[in-house]
Structure formats: C-alpha cells, structure tokens
Amino acid sequence: MHIISPYLLFIGDATDQLSIKMAQGAADWRPNLCVGEFSVDGCTVTTGIKKMSIEEASKQGAKSFVLGFANSGGILEKRWLPYILSAMDHGMDIVSGLHEKLTDFPELIAKAQETQQQLLDIRHPKAEFKTGTGIKRTGKRLLTVGTDCSVGKMYTSLSLEKSMKRMNFNVDFRATGQCGILIAGQGVAIDCVISDFLSGATESLSPNNSPQHWDIIEGQGSLSHSAFAGVSLGLLHGSQPDALVICHDLNRSHMRGLPHSQFPSIEATMALNLQAAKLTNPHVKIVGITVNTSSVSIDEGRKICDELSNKFSLPCVDPLRDGTDSIAKALI
C-alpha cells in the first residue's frame, strides 16, 4: 500500500499515550511528513507536533487523514465518521490501521466515490502473495527479533536506518506493521497475511537488490510468544536475514498478555532465532542487542547495556537513549 503525504494525524479524545502509537510513530520518525495533529474535546495526550483543524491542515496541503489511535478490538467508532467525511471533503485520503475496515461503512464508500479520495485500510493487504521459495536473493538484509512483543523492534529498525544513512549505507526500512507502514509510506501488514503466504509476502517486501544494499526489515511478535510465534517464523524464513538484532525490554516477568507464561532469556532468544533463520540463510549472524531501558535511569540503563555487551561480545544499546551507531558500524 502507498500512502500520500503530508499527513494530518487524528488522535480523537485519547487519554492514554500508548493508544496513539500510530500517530506518535509518525511524529517521532517522519515529522517532515506531518502537517499537524487534530484532536477533539477530552483529549489529554499529544504527539508533540502542531495542533490544527481539518480546514487548516487542508490549506497546509495535507493529503492523508490518519486515524492515529487504537482501541480494544480495533473498532472504528461511529462518532468519528463526521470528521472522516469532512477530511474527504477537504481533499484527503483516509488511512486506518484498525481491525475494522473503513470499507465496512457505506457512508464512507459513498463519500470516497463522490470525492475520489482513497480509503486505505493499511492493516488489510490487498495484494495477492505467492508462497515462499527460499531462493537466495541479492542484496543484504537485517531483521529485528525480540524476546517478546512490543520490545522495540520497530524503533530499533528505524534507528538503524537512520544510523546507516548517516554512514552512507545504501539502506531502506521495510515495514511489516501498520505503524511502520504509515512511517515508511508503504509495506505489508504481515500479521494479516494468510499463514501459508507469510514467507512469500516477506520475500516480495524485500526483493533482489544491489549487492551492497541493506533492507532493514521490521520484526513482529516473538518465537517465544505462543500467540504470535507463527508470524515471527514466517518473517524469519521470508527475510533470509544476513544479520539479526535481538530486542529486549527490561523488567518483564512474563510474555505480554500471558501472565501464566515464562519469559525467555536473551540466550534462549538468540538460539531460537538463529536456528530458525538458518533454514533460508545458513550464514546468518547476530550483530547486536537493543534494550528498552526506560524503566530505569539513564545511568542504570547504560550500565545494563554495557554488561550485556561484555557478556555476549556484541554492541548493546537503548535505541532511543543511545542510538544505534555502534550496531551499524558492526555491519561495515
């Protein structure tokens, strides 16, 4: 899917900062693509970019109205429909990462036909994918993998892209989730691809390229998470990674959403991912570790990263606090 910028980020009346991760990701990593943020009465959070109305954003050249919030079940509440209709009247496509489709609403379909604007349900791929082949592709690939879900795989991937571009690498970020697609402007929401086609979809996301080109492929889920290991495995096989970066979050006692589960060690995560990745690339290597240290002080976080770096003889950083230059240098 291809999204036209600039964006107006709609965050509704959100009161939970985590609930606006779609909007926040775009504001953090592609502020140049965002003209502003639009909220309504009752909203107590912000992405930190300029607030403006639909009318003001249209005058500033906004081309896409992004539903930048999420709720339990991914439902599109009918109270947001008037704002969506207004945005189309002002010349904007509508972009949603919710589970419920924009195209499930007849009034939105009618308005889209009237205004010739697009309804983009970026969580629901429209392309037809083939099954994976496992045939080696030209170019180089790095995949971020995690001890758990929501441990910073997307932020690590984007930080690596930033570091590598600064070092004059030929590099592209390849998005596999709705937030990443919004940031990149294109990609495949891999968790909504039929299971038989996961590896094939990933192959199409990162096709043949020049020998020195790097694709940084955004990871999803975790091989240790009983609910989401399938999508993680499909990504590993389809990406054929030359390099893996292990992503970890401090102070978790169980897998996200599974209080009865045990949390895997970094050692176990390394072993599982290397074994799985070697099916399509026997030469894969782990090149670094990233840790979300936001639950501790900066000094304590750096101490933890230094200890892990010494333990595994790999660069280890917090991608937000420290950046990922040390991992990028390891790829040279």
Give ∠ CA 304-307-313 in degrees, rounded to 5: 135
Residue 173 near residue 164 (C-beta atoms within 8 A): no
pLDDT value, residue 293: 96
Where along the chain do the CATH 3.40.50.300 domains lie? 140-330
Bond prior to 6 in cis (omega within 30° of 0):
yes
**CATH superfamily to which 7-121 belongs:** NAD(P)-binding Rossmann-like Domain (3.40.50.720)
Average pLDDT over residues 54-67: 97
Mean pLDDT of the chain: 95
Strand partners, 214: 140, 171
Q: Report residue 140: phi and psi, to 5°.
A: -120, 150
Residue 111 near residue 85 (C-beta atoms within 8 A): yes
pLDDT value, residue 127: 84
pLDDT value, residue 2: 81
User: Two tokens at 254?
Assistant: 């169980």
The pLDDT of residue 57 is above 70: yes
pTM, to two decimals: 0.89
pLDDT band at 185 (very low <50, low <70, confident <90, very high): confident
Q: Give me the percent of the chain exceeding a pLDDT of 90.
A: 89
**CATH superfamily to which 140-330 belongs:** P-loop containing nucleotide triphosphate hydrolases (3.40.50.300)
The pLDDT of residue 1 is above 70: no
pLDDT value, residue 74: 84
Question: Which residues have CB under 8 Å from 39's CB, separation 6+?
Answer: 10, 11, 12, 13, 14, 46, 51
Residue 111 near residue 83 (C-beta atoms within 8 A): no
Helix (H) or strand (E) holding 322: none
Among 50-59, 88-97, 121-130, 226-235, name the one with the lowest average pLDDT. 121-130
Residue 12 near residue 39 (C-beta atoms within 8 A): yes
Residues found in the chain: 332
Where along the chain do the CATH 3.40.50.720 domains lie? 7-121
First-to-last C-alpha distance (Å) of the chain: 32
The pLDDT of residue 283 is above 80: yes
Residue pLDDT, tens place only, 206-233: 999 999 999 999 999 999 999 999 999 9
User: Two tokens at 81?
Assistant: 């429909």
Q: Beta strands of the chain (E only): which ranges?
A: 7-12, 34-39, 64-67, 93-96, 119-121, 140-146, 171-174, 214-217, 243-249, 285-292, 316-317
C-alpha to C-alpha distance for 313 and 206, rounded to whole angstroms: 29
Question: Which residues have CB under 8 Å from 201's CB, separation 6+?
Answer: 125, 127, 129, 188, 190, 193, 234, 238
Q: Report residue 67: phi and psi, to 5°.
A: -75, 95
Residue pLDDT, tens place only, 69-103: 987 778 999 999 999 999 999 999 999 999 899 99
